Amino acid sequence: MTTRNPPPTVVVLQGEDAPPRMAPAEGLAQIRYARAPELAAALPGAEVLFVWDFFSDALADAWPQADALRWVHVASAGVDTLLFPALRDSDVTVTNSRGVFDEPMAEYVLGLVLCLAKDLHTTARLQQQRRWQHRETERVTGAHVLVVGTGPIGRAIGRRLAAAGLTVSGLGRTARPDDPDLGTVRPQDHLHDALAQADYVVLAAPLTEATRGMIDRAALARMKPTARLINVARGPLVAQDDLVAALRAHQIAGAALDVFADEPLPDSSPLWRLPNVLVSPHMSGDVVGWREELVELFTDNLRRYRQGSPLRNVVDKRLGYVTSAPLEHTRGSR
């Protein structure tokens, strides 16, 4: 299809690796590849920034050089590292990679629930020690899981866990009595009451000012002593020191953590050594082919941008995530 506009200049902010299979995107735009130290020099004249290194905060420092920037796309679902005040207050459109990680993360959470219920992490540890130690495990059927976050990832988690026999409820911005994926959804200010009823608490919410530190000492005190916390969202949703104290005191039964306030998790962190904790390195959505899917999504949006069509996954910068009724942006609008 013939596009109406000349090829825009796109800067790709890469990290240790470069995005794969960029040839289709390179056919749609003039591409400049840059690492964080090179970003400021690469930005002048560029309309589009593809943030492949989604942990980078280099754009904040390079922002004065973004003299023609109109659209930023990030290769992640979360945009919390990107929304510094100058970008949030600008007319630059931000899009994310919503949709790529939903089902992989739901599968991962199901695996964590089964691992915790069946004590598989202890089985692996005992096998390494060649110890024959019979134990009883728990059923997941009928267990109550609270999914915190009602976006696509939270919904996929709810569907997957319900299919495995768990009773699912949700916590989000808006209360709903009969949600098709999450059952009863309570508003966020009912967090403590909702925690008291859950056997598993799964964090799948974006990191915003409203959610930062939401699982703190007071919240953990409302959880059952038999309950487990699973975090696949963002580390700062949890007050990490409070969680360590609760785990050491057996105030809750355990945790499975894929994200942390500081990543990589420092060697000195007590979370590595607690027997009732599973630690994984921010990998819950990373399945074979995920990098290619991220590039395909960006390329589709770049094609839309050139054609003047609405972009997919436009983030409401005030809220920090894509709303259920996404905003639209075309190349000809600001």
Residues assigned a catalytic role: 234, 263, 282
- The structure tokens listed for 333 are 């609008």
**CB of 258 within 8 A of CB of 96?**
no
Exposed / middle / buried, residue 6 (Cβ in 10 Å: 0-12, 13-18, 19+): exposed
Exposure string of 17-30, with b = 16+ CB inside 10 Å and e = fewer, is: eebeebeebeebbe
- DSSP H or E stretch at residue 118: helix 102-118
**CB of 290 within 8 A of CB of 54?**
no
Q: At what angle do helices 120-128 and 102-118 cross, to 10 degrees?
A: 60
Residue 198 CB partners (closer than 8 Å, separation 6+): 144, 145, 146, 169, 223, 224, 227
d(CA 301, CA 285): 21
User: Nearest CA to 324 among 179, 169, 158, 184?
Assistant: 179
**CB of 203 within 8 A of CB of 239?**
no
Taking the CA atoms of the chain, what radius of gyration do you get in angstroms? 21
**Residues facing residue 254 across a β-bridge:** 228
Phi, psi of 166 (to 5 degrees): -80, 155
User: Nearest CA to 101 among 28, 153, 178, 40?
Assistant: 153
d(CA 57, CA 97): 18
